[in-house]
Each structure stands twice: as C-alpha cells, then as structure tokens.
Structure 1
Amino acid sequence: MNKIAILMSTYNGEKYISEQIESLQKQTYKEWSLYIRDDGSGDDTIRIIEDFKKKDLRINLIKDDKNLKPAKSFFTLMNKIEADYYFFCDQDDYWLKNKLQIMLHKISRLDNTIPQVVYCNLKCVDQNLKFRKYGFDDLIGKISGDGRFIGNDMPGCVMLFNKKTRDLVKEYKPNYDNVTMHDWWVALVAHVFGQIHFIDERLIYYRQHVDNTLGAGKSGNVIMKLFQKDLLDKQRRLVRESFKQDMEFRQAFKPILPQEKKIMLDNMMRCYDKSIIYRLKFINSYDFKQMSAIRTFAYKWTFVFMLKSSL
C-alpha cells in the first residue's frame, strides 16, 4: 500500500487547527499519516495537537523551537519524511471529505516514474467558513508552461506530488533564502522535469482572515487592483522574488537542466546587465503569462523597465 504523507507546519494556530485536523479525520480515504512541524508556537497549538495525537496514531508531532517561517519549515518536513505521495496542509483551512480520494485517484493513473504534481481548485471563505468572494477564487489553474517561472497559481494546500518530485527537491537543495515559497519551487520542479495536472473541483475551503501568513489578497476585480497605489511596489517585489528564485533554480539544477531551459535561464540572467531592448525581446520570446492578461502586462512592464531597480 502506498504511504501518504500530509505535511503541516504550524505557528500560533490555536484558533483553527482543530477544525483542520477534524476535516482530515473525516476524509473518505483513511490511510494517511499527518506530520506536523511546529514552528515555535507560543499559544496552545502544541497542546491541541498532542490531544489529537493521543487519540489518533496517524498524527505525528515534530517539536522544534526554531522559527524557520513557512517555506523553510515545509522544506524541513519534506527532507525528513519518506512517502510515496505528499500533500501540503495549512493549519487554518478546511478540506472537503473527498479531497484525498479524488486527488490520489488522479495521480495513481499517471506515470509516477517521473515527477508529477496534481492540484485542485479552492473556495475562499472567511474566518467562520462562510463563502466570500476574493480575488484568488478564480485564479487557480490559470498558469501553465513557462509562466510558472514568473508566477504561481497553486498554494501548497491544493497540491499533491509524488516521491519523484520530492526526491529531486531533496537531492538538489537550493539556498532556501532565495526560494520564494516551497509550493512554487515544487511546481517549478514538476514543470521542468515532469508534469502538472489540474483538477477543476473546489476541494478545499481556503480561509481568509487577519492572521493569514499568506492570503488571497483584497476583494475586488483585477482591474480595480491595477489602480491600487501599492501595485508598483507589489510588481517590483514579484519581479525581484521570481528573478532571484529563477536564478537559484538555474544554479541548483544546473547539472540536469534540459538544454532549452538552461538557455532560457541563461538569457534571463543576462537581462540584468543588458538593455531595455534586450529585456523586451527576451520577455516576449517565451510564453510568460501570469494569471490574467492585466497581471501579465504589469509583470512584463516592470521586468523590462525596472528590473535592475527592483533587485
């Protein structure tokens, strides 16, 4: 039987973690193990987990006083835990009862001799699990191809990936300081070395509240967001983070990069010292598309005209 590992990183999650763990226990697929690494909580999170652990042998707690932040915490779990399939799990969401079953059925029918990622859609809810309309609701499943080098449409909570994916992540360790998020890195690995598959079913309630480490953003349509006064700062941050991450990806996987990706990333690296004309030609030579046409335009404009000042 395949070993299924659900990886959760917690930090001061006492408000919602019980509901999340209960949603896992209600899954129609029962043969899983939950591995929780606490990232230095100062509230009742650990006590709550230990109470669940006493009653459910599938739940494992890794105590660690270090506060690594989400990305490094999840990388730590990935490096420690051996399994056939892996799910990322946030402490404050709620999984619909058939999430595991549907996603595992999908990935089991794929070629698992290569890296595979399967991801599902989500529904944004408020802190009381009431449906709310956020900008993220309709953006999952919108990125494909080399667009993954400039954006990520899959938060970790919607992802399932196989051992081949995890083993590449573990073997070719990056400098984690240059990785924006663990989920984006896993998506890049699957894009370059394997396959990514989208299930357009909303299998998770993605909770939005004031305590979110990362969230779906403000409500309202994309055109409204385009005119937010902080848009420029957001785009410069995205260009900076994605460029730094792409260069780290180039370095980490240099020995095994497919030739076409090596050429693309080499040309991207040259953009730093080249002219605006060079950057314009580069960014238009590849299928770099964000989650919408407006987001794509904003990213490309910032990359071409403000790359150096953004880094």
Structure 2
Amino acid sequence: MATYNGEKYILEQLDSLRDQTYVPDEVIICDDCSTDNTLALLKKYIKNNNMKNWKVEQNINNIGWKKTFWNLLQQAKNEFIFLSDQDDIWDSNKLMFMRDWMLKYINIDLLASDYSPFYSNGNKLSSKVSFQKAKIKKLQFQDNFLKVTRPGCSFVIRKKLVTESNDLWTQNQPHDFTLWNAALLSGKAYLVDQSLISWRIHNGSADFSKKYSMLSLILHPVQKSLELLDKKIPFIDFHISFLSNCMSCINISFYNEISLHYLLFTIRKQYLISHDITLFFKTIMRYYRCYT
C-alpha cells in the first residue's frame, strides 16, 4: 500500500485488511511524505492492534505514487502480491478467494476482480457472488492491450511478473498499467467476475478525473484547452515509453501491433503540440489501423 494524505479514509481500509479471513504473510506500507496525520495513524494502528507482520516506512522525499508503488513491488517477498489503495474497503474474503484461484490456476500471472464503486458517503458494499459460482476468463491481447479496465487494487499477481515487468516500466507509468499489459503480452492475464472491493470515488483520489462543464469550455476555451493538453501529454508519454521499451525487448510477442500503437501515440503527440492538420489525418489513419 502506498499512502499520501489519506487520514480521512485509511482506517476503514486498514480494518478491512485486518479482518481478512486469510491472514496475509506480510503487509508493507510506504507513506510518500504525507503532510497530514496519515503516518501517525498507521503507526498507532499497527501498535494498538499488535500487527507484527505489518511494517510501515516513509520516503525521504515525496516521489509520487507511481514510483512508490514500484518500489514496494520490489520489496514484496512472497509468491502472491496484492496491491492496495489507501481509501477502499475490501471484502473479508478477498485474499482467501483470490489466493485459492491463483493456486488452482498456475498459468495465471495476473488476476483482477470486479469492484463496486461507491461515493464517499455511500454504504459499505460486499461481494454477492460465491466462490463456487465465480467464473474466470482469459483476457485477450487484441481486446485489452493498453486498456486497463480494472484498477490495480483489484489485482493479485505472481512475484515473477514484477521481475518480467521491470524492463518495461519507467517512472512516468502507473504500476497497474505496466503489470496489466505485461501480463497480456505473456498471455497470462485473467479476470474473475466477482466484486471483492468497494472502490471509493472522491476528489482526492489519484483516479479522479476533473470534468469541465460546457459553460466553462465556452467561456474559457483557451485556458481549458491548455489544461486538457497538460493532462493528455503525460498520458501519451507513458504510453510511448512503455511501447518503446516493449519494442526493445528480444522476442517480444505482438511486435507488429505494438509498433502500430507506438506510431499512433507519437503522431498524436505531435499533432496535439503543433495542431498540424496533416498530422490530424495521419492520427485518424493510424487509429483505424490499430483498432479495426
């Protein structure tokens, strides 16, 4: 778990981890220099509940959640690794169910569950599907590459996926984006149709996207356009860096598809910066080749 200024919701998440029917072998938490009481709450919680296999540390400097999560992945010692956000609520059977599935299906490197979104004032939600009725399906590369349809907090992965993903990751990439796509490249990404997380939606979340009203776009077109551009460029950049790293790997699967996506994102970035109409039509053509 990576934390940053999470004092408002973190105790609920810690309770849901402590109340798991399968006790985790280790819980590693790293705080990214919070300016609120998050670190103090973590230390107090671990001490008061005598959580001997839990440890909390703090970065020397604020390095951001992407790098913090990747550093944590390197520290994990055990075969199965679960990723946790600081503000969700886990079903009490999440660890047990997903661990059992990973033991049963040894060809899975990444298994993602469904989740139940709720807003900050919403009720706690729990799984409605039994372990026996849940269905697991393999995620097909062509349908899911670069489209991370489940958050990292829904993942369980094998430790070896981290090792295999290290050459593909750069500091601008979200950890779940890299792990998801690395598992797709090896044909070992799967989804189980069971909700095991109550996924909190709020303005402070790293996944929260600011929406603009039509009126604001009309009244401040240049300002809003520049703000949108500032968001799109980093998004495109981490796709480009990931695809470039994939192309440099020896014997990488789906090389042609990867190179097509790489060209699409590089041309799209050039167009967003220059607004050259020729690049616009090239982007359309590349998009058509990638997704049809």
Q: Return the offset for 1:93.
A: 0.7
The farther-off stretch of 243-252 and 76-85 is: 243-252
SS in 1 for 2:195: strand
TM-score (norm. length: structure 1)? 0.72
2:104 aligned residue (92, 106, 109): 109
Alpha-carbon distance in 1 for matches of 2:262, 2:113: 33
1:242-278 deviation digits (Å, cap 9, x = unpaired): 543333223323223535x222232333442886565
2:289 paired residue number: 285
2:58 paired residue number: 63
Alpha-carbon distance in 2 for matches of 1:131, 1:97: 12
SS in 2 for 1:48: helix
Structure 2 residues not aligned, in runs of 5+: 126-136, 271-277
8 Å Cα contact 2:263-2:286 kept in structure 1 = no
Q: Return the offset for 1:84.
A: 0.6
TM-score (norm. length: structure 2)? 0.76
1:256 paired residue number: 250
1:228-248 deviation digits (Å, cap 9, x = unpaired): 959988986786455433332
SS in 1 for 2:240: helix
8 Å Cα contact 2:70-2:175 kept in structure 1 = yes
Confirm or deny that 1:24 pairs with 2:20.
Answer: no
SS in 1 for 2:289: coil
Q: 1:32 to 1:265 in 2, by over 3 A?
A: same
2:196 aligned residue (188, 198, 203): 203
The farther-off stretch of 49-58 and 238-247 is: 238-247
Structure of larger gyration radius: 2
1:91-112 deviation digits (Å, cap 9, x = unpaired): 1111010111111111222235
Structure 1 residues not aligned, in runs of 5+: 1-7, 133-140, 219-224, 289-311
8 Å Cα contact 1:150-1:242 kept in structure 2 = no
Alpha-carbon distance in 2 for matches of 1:249, 1:155: 18
Q: How does 1:1-311 map to 2 (within 5 A)?
A: 8-54=1-47, 55-112=50-107, 116-130=109-123, 145-170=141-166, 172=167, 174-177=169-172, 179=173, 181-215=174-208, 240-241=233-234, 243-253=236-246, 254-259=248-253, 261-271=254-264, 272=267, 279-287=283-291
Alpha-carbon distance in 2 for matches of 1:239, 1:256: 30
SS in 2 for 1:285: helix
SS in 2 for 1:97: coil
Q: 1:108 to 1:96 in 2, by over 3 A?
A: same
Q: 1:244 to 1:216 in 2, by over 3 A?
A: closer
Alpha-carbon distance in 2 for matches of 1:144, 1:12: 37
Q: 1:276 to 1:48 in 2, by over 3 A?
A: closer
SS in 2 for 1:75: helix
8 Å Cα contact 1:85-1:160 kept in structure 2 = yes
Q: 1:192 to 1:47 in 2, by over 3 A?
A: same
